[in-house]
């Protein structure tokens, strides 16, 4: 049962147990809500039956019924408290744990997953889908199961009392239920359409926000707005059709349910004429019916909500079932040579970007990857840090296959300086501390001075406590680069990956950044990508990539002596362009 609930409703083990508790207490609450009917039955049986049947019998005092009503109220109140705790409070806790669980899962996935996935879609799964599940599981699903259990108990009691009246009372239930069940396929199809339309609108809005500068620069505001309005109109029309469809189906089933009163009246009149039932029994049936049909109505409404549940649960389970990167956490290398051996890698099965690549980036040496754009240089550096897992071949660090090392354990040995620097919406101090959370203020300032960014940081409004963000205009590109270098200096990892870190800078600022980089790469294993030959003038080894393959390796002096080498040709072309 627990495993079924975990799989069917994307619950944790604790969530499955809480779900069962919620069903139990909701069932008890449904029974407790019958107390007024039971109380009425007892009171009428005590005071009304003797009058109707013209018999003399002792009756309980009004004080007895007052005390009984108080006891029943207290019991109902206590059950309601436990029911709320086991449905609402537990569901909110489960929702929070589910979000954390998804985040932990995403943290362990290879970066290839995020390259193929729409990020707004992921955000929707973590936030909107969870909110939907939160609402349904707190207000719908436990109530559905509890109502079914309660109806089974109540139906059994009614049939024992008088099966003919019970049949007259309940014959409409299977018909109304059948109407809802037969519409399941239609409801699921409509749900998928609405769900996809909603995701399309969200993705388009996010795309517009991310590319607002490009949209404005090309005067595409009107075109973008018109496209957005079309998508919104499509979503609204489909949503209206869906609401009308569901409304017609549910109202039809509810209308069928109302026929119980007509059938009960006719059957009672017939049985009364045959002296098979008394007025008192009929009144009791009417009182019980008013309470029984409330959960029946809830069942039919909640069945429709249950059909809607399948889409977000499917998305949750898809993420849960994704293959994560894992490996040994016991990894303490004594050497930091990075070795590529016959490495092949594809982003998709049809798009291979690394073909049989082999080279060694030795400890305490600078290994430069050069070549035209799109030939796999950046991919190779990311593969060296296991951002992705390769298709075949082997990448080793200290002669150990990195695919068998836990990614977070592996990345403790790496620092990165990329061309595009991401700054977070927090202080400059915390942005530098991002790779070493326990760093002191003194260590942060020391790293900033080594990266030559202490001066401009102190000129900001609050110095190191100034709040910045990724697109904060006050910091220039080269200033962001220096903060990125300060991060790497503070982490002081034995391996440095530099990916086009000075490509967008002018010569003057590139020189300043190179001074900071010189501090960063002392006595490190360095893998660097650059288009400017002056950037790699002091490299110990050059690896030339073309057509996603290594076509040339060697130190700069040896390669430059060969007039026909690819390295020499690239140097000549760059000198000519300058």
Architecture of the domain spanning 327-412+525-578: 3-Layer(aba) Sandwich (3.40)
For residue 273 the two structure tokens come to: 């004429």
CB count within 10 Å of CB 94 equals: 25
Contact 483, 423 (CB under 8 A): yes
pLDDT of residue 507: 60
The more confidently predicted of residues 47 and 529 is 529
Q: What is the pLDDT of residues 110-124, one digit of tens each?
A: 876 776 666 667 777
pLDDT of residue 512: 64
Q: Which of 203, 187, 204 is nearest to 311 (CA)?
A: 187
Contact 528, 538 (CB under 8 A): no
pLDDT of residue 396: 96
pLDDT of residue 443: 92
Q: Crossing angle, helix 90-107 and helix 130-139, to 10 degrees?
A: 150
pLDDT of residue 104: 85
pLDDT mean over 287-307: 75
> Given strand 338-348, what is the order of strands in its sheet?
351-361, 338-348, 392-397, 400-401
Tokens 């403790």 correspond to 412
Q: Indicate if 414-492 has the same CATH topology as 327-412+525-578.
A: yes
Contact 84, 139 (CB under 8 A): no
Contact 325, 382 (CB under 8 A): no
Q: Crossing angle, helix 279-320 and helix 259-273, to 10 degrees?
A: 150
pLDDT mean over 327-332: 91
Contact 431, 487 (CB under 8 A): yes
Burial letters 388-423, b for 16+ CB under 10 A, else e = bbbeebebbbbeeebbebbbeebbebbbbbbbebeb
Architecture of the domain spanning 2-320: Up-down Bundle (1.20)
pLDDT of residue 495: 94
Domain spans of the chain, in order of start: 2-320, 327-412+525-578, 414-492
State the CATH class of domain 414-492.
Answer: alpha beta
Q: Which of 386, 415, 388 is nearest to 402 (CA)?
A: 386
SS (H, E, C) 41-79: HHHHHHHCHHHHHCCCCCCCCHHHHHHHHHHHHHHHHHH
């Amino acid at each position: 049962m627990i495993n079924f609930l975990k799989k069917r409703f994307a619950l944790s083990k604790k969530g499955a147990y809480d779900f069962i508790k919620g069903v139990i207490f909701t069932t008890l609450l449904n029974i407790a809500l019958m107390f007024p009917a039971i109380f009425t039955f007892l009171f009428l049986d005590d005071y009304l039956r003797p009058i109707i049947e013209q018999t003399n019998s002792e009756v309980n005092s009004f004080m007895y019924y007052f005390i009984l009503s108080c006891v029943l109220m207290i019991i109902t109140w206590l059950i309601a408290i436990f029911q709320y705790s086991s449905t609402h409070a537990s569901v909110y806790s489960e929702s929070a744990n589910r979000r954390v669980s998804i985040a932990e899962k995403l943290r362990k996935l290879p970066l290839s997953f995020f390259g193929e996935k729409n990020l707004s879609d992921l955000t929707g799964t973590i936030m909107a889908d969870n909110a939907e599940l939160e609402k349904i599981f707190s207000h719908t699903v436990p109530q559905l199961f509890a109502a079914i259990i309660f109806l089974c108990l109540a139906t059994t009691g009614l049939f024992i009392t008088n099966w003919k009246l019970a049949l007259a009372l309940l014959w409409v239930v299977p018909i109304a239920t059948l109407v809802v069940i037969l519409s399941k396929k239609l409801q699921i199809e409509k749900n998928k359409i609405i769900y996809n339309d909603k995701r399309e609108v969200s993705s388009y809005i996010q795309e517009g926000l991310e590319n607002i500068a490009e949209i404005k620069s090309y005067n595409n505001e009107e075109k973008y707005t018109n496209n957005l309005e079309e998508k919104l109109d499509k979503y609204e029309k489909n949503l209206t059709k869906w609401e009308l469809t569901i409304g017609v189906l549910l109202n039809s089933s509810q209308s069928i349910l109302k026929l119980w009163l007509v059938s009960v009246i006719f059957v009672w009149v017939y049985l009364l004429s045959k002296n098979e039932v008394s007025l008192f029994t009929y009144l009791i049936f009417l009182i019980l019916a008013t309470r029984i049909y409330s959960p029946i109505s809830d069942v039919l409404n909640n069945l429709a909500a249950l059909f809607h549940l399948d889409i977000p649960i499917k998305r949750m389970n898809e993420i849960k079932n994704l293959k994560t990167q894992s490996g040994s956490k016991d990894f303490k290398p004594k050497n930091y040579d990075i070795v590529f051996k016959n490495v092949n890698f594809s982003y998709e099965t049809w798009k291979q970007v690394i073909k049989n690549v082999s080279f060694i980036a030795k400890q305490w040496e600078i290994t430069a990857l050069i070549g035209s754009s799109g030939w796999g240089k950046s991919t190779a550096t990311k593969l060296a840090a296991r951002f992705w897992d390769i298709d075949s071949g082997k990448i080793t660090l200290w002669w150990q296959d990195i695919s068998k090392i836990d990614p977070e354990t592996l990345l403790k040995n790496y620092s990165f300086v990329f061309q595009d620097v991401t700054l977070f919406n927090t202080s400059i101090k915390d942005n530098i501390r991002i790779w070493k959370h326990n760093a002191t203020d003194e260590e942060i300032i020391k790293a900033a001075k080594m990266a030559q960014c202490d001066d401009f940081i102190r000129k900001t409004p609050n110095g190191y406590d100034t709040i910045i963000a990724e697109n904060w205009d006050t910091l220039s590109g080269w200033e962001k680069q220096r903060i990125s270098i300060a991060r790497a200096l503070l982490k002081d990892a034995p391996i440095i990956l530099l990916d086009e870190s000075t490509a967008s800078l002018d010569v003057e600022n590139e020189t300043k950044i190179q001074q900071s980089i010189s501090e960063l790469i002392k006595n490190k294993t360095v893998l660097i990508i650059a288009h400017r030959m002056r950037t790699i003038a002091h490299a110990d080894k050059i690896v030339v990539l073309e057509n996603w393959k290594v076509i040339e390796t060697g130190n700069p002096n040896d390669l430059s002596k060969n007039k026909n080498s690819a390295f020499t040709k690239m140097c000549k072309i760059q000198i000519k362009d300058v």
